[in-house]
A and B are shown apart, each in its own frame.
Chain A
Amino acid sequence: MSSNVITVPVGQTEARPWVDELHQWLTTVDHKRLGILYIVSALLFLVIGGVEALIIRIQLMHSHNNFVSPEVFNRMFTMHGTTMIFFVAMPVLFGFANYLVPLMIGARDMAFPRLNAFSFWLSFLGGLLLYFSFLGGSGLYGAGNAPDVGWWSYAPLGARAFSPGHSSDYWTLALLVSGFGSIGTAINIIATILCLRCPGMKLNRMPLLAWLNLVMAGMVLLAITPLSAAQIMLLIDRYLGGHFFDTQAGGSAVLWMHFFWIFGHPEVYILIIPCFAFMSEIIPVFSRKPIFGYPVMVAATVCIAFVSMSVWAHHMFTIGMNSYANSFFTLTTMAVGVPTGIKIFNWIGTMWGGRIQFKTAMLFSIAFLFQFLIAGLTGIMMACSPFDWQLSLSYFVVAHFHYVIVGGILFALFGAFYYWYPKMTGRMLSERLGQWHFWLFLIGFHLTFDVMHIPGILGMPRRIYTYEPGRGWDTLNLIVSIGAFIQAVAILVFVANLIVSYFKGAKAGNDPWDAWTLEWSVSSPPPAYNFATVPTVSSRRPLWDLKHPEDPDSRYE
């Protein structure tokens, strides 16, 4: 064969009527379209959740502010947290997994395309149900009320006695429904990766993105289900007179906490592991080197998955567990930092000796490394149980987890957007707008979340709609709020980039980044069937082998 390229003629088609196009999107079972549906719906909820955050930040700009009532504030932080975790972070990551996994393993689609569609629509319905609470939360006769019990809905606050009306039910049902969607997607991802890999793609030749999504999917099966179980129990308490969490009948509020955090802690690893996956694909390409320590990266991730199942009660250090339990969870929580740190070192090791290109995707990745390092270290601080007796339930925790979720997850996601948008749309995102997006967001992020640690150290608890003036928290909160608005502007720049580049961006071609995994071997966007012929691979970087036949990876693996 003289060249490595097969030219597949694609017929010219007329533009379809928009009704047909809409129908195609609504009934699609194609993993690429479902991926985009997940991502777009997540972006919509991101904007809504962001507005909720801005409302919170305006109210907290100075002490004794009156921008919103306490009732509205409490709904805002509940909805902000619930939206961001369940209707932004999880869907957007499922969206990228959906889009990329089949392409990267040389498959034509996910294992169960219809289940895939069903899972997406369940997830989306959950989001709509949650927001319908604004209208229906008090039943037919009252005005709407969104849930206001915090995104954990601790017992007995979530019980009928303390949460009358239906607002809590919307919270419960929305999460139950979207939880089933998540389980469906997880099953699909696992079946796809285990059963549909192209010939030659042994498990130790899969891209790390596939590996990490496999681990994430396994964790979803074991972590989301405890929440589903707890929510069924809550519904039984609220509607059938059950006493699972009814302290007046001898029930235990602490049991809810255990069940919730057995979900809640692995959940945050479910969110971060796909972001590790993005980093593991992007950093090598822009460093022009393979990932440093592929087997160790896989092992470390599996290790994180297991250990993270044993740390949950570090969210409960203040509830009065005995000293042995507190010590145990201190140890496991500190231990989970070891494999996590190893990954950071491996990414730096990938960059080491490379030829780094500072495209926007790489800028976000470098910032990710810096911020995830800090987030991990503040996590270690709170792993120390006595330190946590002061830091827990304060703005230090809020700063820590936003550092992970915004500084880690969102930055990694931005990197993923800049990296794979060309593949999904056939157009490059504007690097100029990308730079504006990056620097504005970086400044806003650090202004908000670096400073936010300090009120926590100064004794400011979380979930308070206002605070006393003499505590020294005023100026700090003002700075935090200003940073939030800067981030909002940056997000607008990002959205503008997404839209403008779709119409005016430079044509991307198959492989704009000179990358090495299978998705870059097909057109941008890929045809519906992904690959004209199912590929066969003999190394971890099939395109590297093709581009460098004198020095293929297959010689070294």
Chain B
Amino acid sequence: MLTLRMKSSLECGWHIALLLLWSATPLWAVGPGGSTGQGTSIFSPASTPAKSIADVSVFVLVITGIIFLVVFALLLYSVVRFRGRATDGGREPAQVYGSMQIELAWTIIPILIVVVLFLATARVIHAVQDAPEPAGALDVIAIGHQYWWEFRYPKLGIVTANELHIPVSEPDHPTPTFLQLLSVDTDHSFWVPELAGKTDLIPNHPNRMWMDPQRTGVFMGQCAQYCGTQHAKMLLRVSVEGADDFGAWVHAQQKPAVEDAGVIAGRQVFERNACMNCHAVGGTPADGRFGPDLTHLMSRATIAAGAAENTHDNLRLWIQNPSAIKPGSLMPAMKLSDADLDAVVSYMETLH
């Protein structure tokens, strides 16, 4: 049986090991730079809101870290130094009831810490939330659906889905993107960690957020507020592009749908079945709003809000049986014949 001395050393040893593990782990896991390539670490900010958050977060981490070390040291010391020993002879220690001075000390110091933390925090809250929208900003309306994202660029006349394209913002000539966040059904949350803190999309409660990414690239995220069965597959891709690339993308998106005579059969399948009740294809009679706009479907890397790559096989499978890719998605299986299915997929594949 372990003696009291051994028990407490084990206790000590364990606590120290834990402490080291705990403090060391974040270093390899969350280092800046997003080593995995699909980085979604909150500590590799690429945009001002994310950076302001990361900065104040590090400040908070340092302060709480110091508090942890001090209190843990006291705990460890008391466990080791005041452990009962066989040599005590069953005597009780001095019965101390309290000390007003000590109580005051460890009340006032935490209050001061709270004041410091609060002031540092309030500054960032205002800086991020109350930032005015500059003249060169891009306006996007993001509308949450079960389980996909609708993006509208009102001043550019663009409607797209799931993959957001925004311009990079140069520090001397800022072109941030300001999003208005709406929802048609349940609550959602727009979270792309490297670009900004998350903000919810709540029906009947418009919200506003902004981001000014300072490097190009593709940034990943996903819905963060449980919205139903396929909450997990409501993914986000934000492509941040240089001015020229962004301009080219806008230009392409503003055009109506490609008209390819070779896929007339597929287009007819599309327009005669219930497809056009939910989906819109610009420049055609299809003007449904319930599902994603398909005008430039092939300009997207993924389908079903990131649930699958935008390939021929996935597209075919999706139209044939959405539940195979995203069970619980609100798109019904259209029960098309193989011929119709192939035709409509061919049509979809012309929509660049």
Contacts and interface: CB of A to CB of B under 8 A. Distances in A.
- Does a CB–CB distance below 8 Å link A and B in the complex? yes
A334 B117 contact: yes
B281 interface: no
A363 B4 CA distance: 12
A381 B64 contact: yes
Contacts of B229: 70-71, 74, 148
A318 B189 contact: yes
B68 A387 contact: no
Contact of A318 (B39, B199, B208): B199
A252 B206 CA distance: 12
Contact of A156 (B38, B121, B203): B203
B41 to A, nearest CB: 5
A250 interface: yes
Contacts of B200: 318-320
Contacts of A148: 229
Contact of B82 (A326, A342, A352, A463): A352
Contact of B38 (A352, A465, A470, A556): A470
Interface string A345-356: 110110111111
Interface string B122-142: 101110111000000000000
A230 interface: no
B72 A370 contact: yes
Given A348-B75, A352-B82, A459 B40 contact: yes
Contact of B36 (A250, A254, A471): A471
Contacts of A355: 82-85, 88, 91-93
Nearest to A557: B97
B231 interface: yes
A348 B74 contact: yes
Interface in B50-85: 50, 52-53, 56-57, 60-61, 64, 67-68, 71-72, 74-75, 78-79, 82-85
A393 interface: yes
Nearest to B8: A358
Interface stretch (A6-14, A211-219, A372-380): A372-380
Given A254-B205, A381-B61, A386-B56, A330 B121 contact: yes
Contacts of A294: 97-98
A357 B42 contact: no
A487 interface: no
Contacts of A156: 185-187, 203
B75 A369 contact: yes
B96 A292 contact: yes
A320 B208 contact: yes
Interface in A308-342: 318-320, 322-323, 326-327, 330-331, 334-335, 337-338, 341-342
A348 B117 CA distance: 25
B43 interface: yes
Interface string A433-472: 0010000001000100011001001111111111110111
Interface residues of A, number: 103
A157 interface: yes
Given A327-B122, A355-B92, A463 B226 contact: yes
A287 B230 CA distance: 52
B29 A386 contact: no
Contacts of A461: 189, 191, 222-224
Interface stretch (B13-21, B162-170, B338-346): B13-21
B53 A390 contact: yes
Contacts of A387: 53, 56-57, 60, 121
A290 B96 CA distance: 7
B26 interface: yes
B110 A337 contact: yes
A394 B193 CA distance: 11
Contact of B68 (A251, A288, A348, A377): A377
Contact of B129 (A252, A289, A319, A326): A326
B36 A472 contact: yes
Contact of B43 (A150, A374, A457, A551): A457
Contact of B107 (A70, A338, A467): A338
A47 interface: no
B75 to A, nearest CB: 6
A355 B40 CA distance: 49
Contacts of A388: 197
A354 B199 CA distance: 50
A168 interface: no
Contacts of A468: 38, 220, 235, 306
Nearest to A366: B79
Given A392-B224, A458-B30, 9 more contacts: A162-B186, A288-B93, A355-B92, A357-B4, A358-B84, A390-B198, A454-B26, A459-B191, A464-B232
Interface of B: 2, 4, 7-8, 11, 14-15, 18, 21-22, 25-26, 29-30, 35-43, 50, 52-53, 56-57, 60-61, 64, 67-68, 71-72, 74-75, 78-79, 82-85, 88, 91-99, 102-103, 106-107, 110-111, 114, 117-118, 121-122, 124-126, 128-130, 181, 185-187, 189, 191, 193, 196-200, 202-205, 207-208, 220-233, 235, 306, 327-328
21 contacts: A70-B327, A71-B328, A247-B203, A293-B98, A296-B98, A327-B122, A327-B126, A334-B117, A346-B103, A354-B82, A384-B117, A386-B56, A393-B225, A459-B193, A459-B221, A462-B226, A464-B222, A468-B220, A476-B29, A551-B95, A556-B95
Interface of A: 69-71, 74, 148, 150, 154, 156-157, 162, 247-248, 250-254, 287-290, 292-296, 318-320, 322-323, 326-327, 330-331, 334-335, 337-338, 341-342, 344-346, 348-349, 351-358, 363, 366, 369-370, 373-374, 377-378, 380-381, 383-394, 435, 442, 446, 450-451, 454, 457-468, 470-472, 476, 548, 551, 553, 556-557
